[in-house]
Structure formats: structure tokens, C-alpha cells
Amino acid sequence: MIGAESTDRVRLVLGAYKLMRYKIICSILLVSSIAITSFLFPWHMAEAEALFHIREMKRPNVPGLVVAADDELPDLTARSAIVMDAATGLVLYERDKDARRYPASTTKIMTLIIALENSDLDDMVTVSKHAAGTEGSTLWLEAGDEIRMGDLLYGMMLHSGNDATVAVAEHIAGSVPAFARLMTEKAHEIGAVHTNFINANGLPNDAHYTTAYDMARIAAYGYQLDGFEQIVSTKEASFAWVKDQTHRLRNENQMLWLYRGGNGVKTGYTDAAGRCLVSAAKENGIQLVAVVFDSVYMWNDSIKLLDYGFSLVRPAQIVRVGEQVGEMTISGGHGRIPVCAAHDLTIAQRKDKEEQYEKKLVLDEVSAPVVRGDKVGKLMILRNGQEIASVDCVADADVVKKSFFARIVSYIKSFVGRWS
């Protein structure tokens, strides 16, 4: 028989062996993960303008992929790709940008736009049975859940919740088909004329399509809207209704971690669409948007696109927030007031070209009373007579409404002036 002391020694030896084996396994896993990460993304942090860099990876054989002889980025694995200045729509690189593609979950960029323009973020949305039963990626919403609109938009963009898109669509338009019509109309309005939406989440449908150019235009438009950048650039968010012990959602867009200045926007995948990614980054005030559709290495492709785009341009500061751009008379008010830019406007200008821009102030018909900060028009930026960008303009002073007596006096002065 083995005594108690011997038994204890055996247990200690076995425990030590198990602990050592556990440490060895953990060490192997850690070293392996570091090695893999270093191979795929051997980046380094550099100075202000530096971006993350990746090891050059030879493009694999992609069946049916045709790369033009003059393609500036021949190793891209995407069938369609583009990088664009969001402020002006200037295309810095494109590959098959007008080919019809399935957008998968990048569809949700337009869903977000429609929601921001047609609802209040504090609206309470009741989840229907139809929404709760939506297939694909899900937030595990349940019929009868009441969730704040803003929370659903975060869940839709960070975790790609298809059920959230249906709940949002039904709340705003009454049904998904009606909401999809709003999406298509908006796409055409902003110049994405080769796009047609059938649903709010990008689940496969032959009649649900877009192009790389159109999706870049859609994303670029989004950055003009209050709340858009804040949502699509959020890495993590916590909500009590998230059915997870941590109650946290982590953004699936790894470009927010991989790319310096990354601030959007959405991933996507279906068998029909392949790997899709709309990414974005801001550097020195320049906001670029990149799109890759049906890509083998979508992260690498997107990093190369943004790197290439930033290498071609320099910032051109058009106007600063608060800068006076003109004056105007307010109907029913006293005198003239200054008009100022509502926010900064910086556009990308190619380093190899010197271009001239013209500014044109377009004022709305505004009647008193006016509060300082009210929108009163826009400043258009023209190149060769064509509008390429604009910035909202606001009143830089309060204007009270004239009293009835003051209006009579003004009318008499005006009448006398005509005949004097």
C-alpha cells in the first residue's frame, strides 16, 4: 500500500506536471499568434503622417481576375476597388469601379444614413417577431424588446446585427421593402445611380447590388451627417440589452486598430459577394474612403489603397469653422449680419497639380427671428465651374423680429426712397 505521504507527493508531482504543460501550451500559442500577426501585419508606429505598413504579399491566383497593365496597385486581390476623397469625390485609384457587385453587409452604411436623416436617436423601437427572426449575423433581439434607436444603430454597425436593421426599417418606413425604396432613392439622389437596394442588411438577392464607385459616394455622403462618424468609428460600446455577460459590442472592422487615423466604416461577406470592406481614414484634415469588393485579402488591400491615396494628395484648407464668408439681410429684421462657415472644410489636392477653386455663397431666404448659429445657406466650392464641395453657413448674430411700428417705418422709408 502507498502511504498518505507518498500519495500527496504523487499528487504534487502530477499537479506540477499539469501546470508546466499548461504553461508550455500557452507559450506556444502566444508565440504562434505573435508570429502570425507579425507576418500578416508587420507594421510600426511612425511620425504624424505615417501609416501602418504591411509586408508585401504576392497576389494569389484569383480565377477570372484581370489586372490592367497600367494598374498602379497590381497586387490588390479585390475584383473592384476604389479610393476617393470624401469631400470632393476625387477618385485617386480605381479598379473596375463601375462593375455591378453584391454589397453584403456594407449595405448597412445606407441603412445608417436613412436612419440618421429620418429618425431621432432617442426614439424607442419595438422589435417585431419578423425582425427577431432575421437570419444571418444577429444581436439575438427578441420580439417585444424595446430598444433606443441610437443603440440599435451601434449594434447594426459594430456587430452587423441583421435583426437590428429590420427593426430600424420597420420603425421608420413600416416595412423593409418601403425602407429599401428610401435607400435606393437616396443613393440615386447623391449620385450612386447604379445601385439598387432590396433589403436593409445586404442578405443575398440578385436585385440587390451596387458598384465600388457608388458605395464610395454613399460612404462619403455619410461623413457629412451628424452622428455618422461617431458611430462608425466606435471600437467598443456597452448596452444593458446585449445578451452577453460583458454586455459589450466590439466593432468587426479591424481597420480601426490596424490603420492610423482609421475612422470607419463597415465589413461585409456572403458567398455571392465575397469579402467586402468599406474603410476610411482621416489624415491632416483629409478624409479618404476606400472600397474593396470580392477581395481575398481585404485588410491588406484596404491598407494599400489608403496608403496610396494619401501619398498622392496634400491638404487644401478651404475655410475654417467660424470664418466669415459674407453678409446677409434678414427679412423682417434690422440691418445686415455676418455669415460664417459652420465647420472646417479641407479637401484633397493632388500633389502633381495646381488647381484653382472658386467660392460661391448661396443664401437661403430667411425671415426674423434668427438665432446665432442657425443655418442660412451654404458656401459652394467650384472647380472649372462645377461644384465639388460645400459647407453649411450659419448666422453669426441674433436677429429679432421688427415690431409692427418698426415695419411701418421701414416701409415708409423704402417708399419715400423710391420717389426721392
State the catalytic residues.
Answer: 105, 108, 160
> Is omega for the bond preceding 369 within 30 degrees of 0, making it cis?
yes
Sign (positive or negative) of CA dihedral 250, 251, 253, 255 = negative
H-type helices in 125-249, by residue range?
A: 129-132, 149-158, 162-173, 176-189, 212-222, 228-232
Residues making up the chain, counted from first to last: 420
Alpha carbon separation from 317 to 89, 285, 357, 381 (Å, rounded): 16, 8, 11, 12
**What phi and psi, each to the nearest 5 degrees, are found at residue 252?**
-80, -10
Nearest to 125 by CA among 140, 147, 103: 147
Which triple of cell numbers denotes residue 330?
A: 434678414
CA distance 153 to 228: 10
CA distance 282 to 273: 27
Exposure b/e, 320-353, CB count within 10 A at least 16 = b = eeeeebeebebebbeeebebbbbeebbbbbeeee
CA distance 340 to 322: 5
